[in-house]
Amino acid sequence: MWYDETGLPWIKPSPNMLTLTTAEIYPMTCLLEGTNVSEGRGTLRPFEFIVAPWIDGEALSAQLNSYGLVGLEAKTGELVPGEMVDGIKIYPPKYLGETCYGAELQVSDRINFQSAKAAVYMLHALYTLYPEELEWRESRMDGLWKTASIRENIVAGKSPEEIIASWEEELEYFREVREQYLMY
């Protein structure tokens, strides 16, 4: 079940996890913490945006949509990060007080949306469109992925499909081992 199917009220597990929608997309866009691109912190819709003052929202949205990612739609978005969210002063977000442009994301099929794969495409799109502007915070990015290979492969020019294929063998092994522990 999804949380909204339980009938229980949403209680924020974090000041930046305001809604279930945020939780749906968070595993993808939290990886922006390893870059100089804003994930929309400092707004009432954190993690639903990919923005920076130097991004062309139409170009980024078009690039993301061109990948045909199941369950994800991007449209041109704009926001100004603030320091107060839902009455709580938060850690200063990237580009505080600056108008940022980029893509607003919507999960249209949460059952089939694959956030880790979508994250590779997101980072690929940003590096493809903005190789000079995009800055990697290497230790943070590599720490979030638990490997440097994603970042290194994007910079080396590998396609998202190649990067994702590189982890399929290990993922299949994990699924086989996990199977014995599933209860239902």
Can you give the pLDDT at residue 126?
A: 98
pLDDT, one tens digit per residue, over 90-124 is 788 999 999 999 999 999 999 999 999 999 999 99
| CA count, 13 A, side-chain hemisphere, 58 | 0
Can you give the pLDDT at residue 91?
A: 81
Question: Which residues, 6+ apart, have CB-to-CB distance to 166 below 8 Å?
Answer: 149, 153
Mapped onto helix, strand or coil, the DSSP state of residue 104 is: strand
| pTM over the 0.75 mark | yes
Can you give the pLDDT at residue 83?
A: 87
pLDDT, one tens digit per residue, over 144-169 is 999 999 999 999 999 999 999 999 88
Size of the chain in residues: 184
Q: In DSSP terms, which residues pair with 107 in a beta bridge?
A: 72
C-beta separation of 44 from 21 below 8 A: no
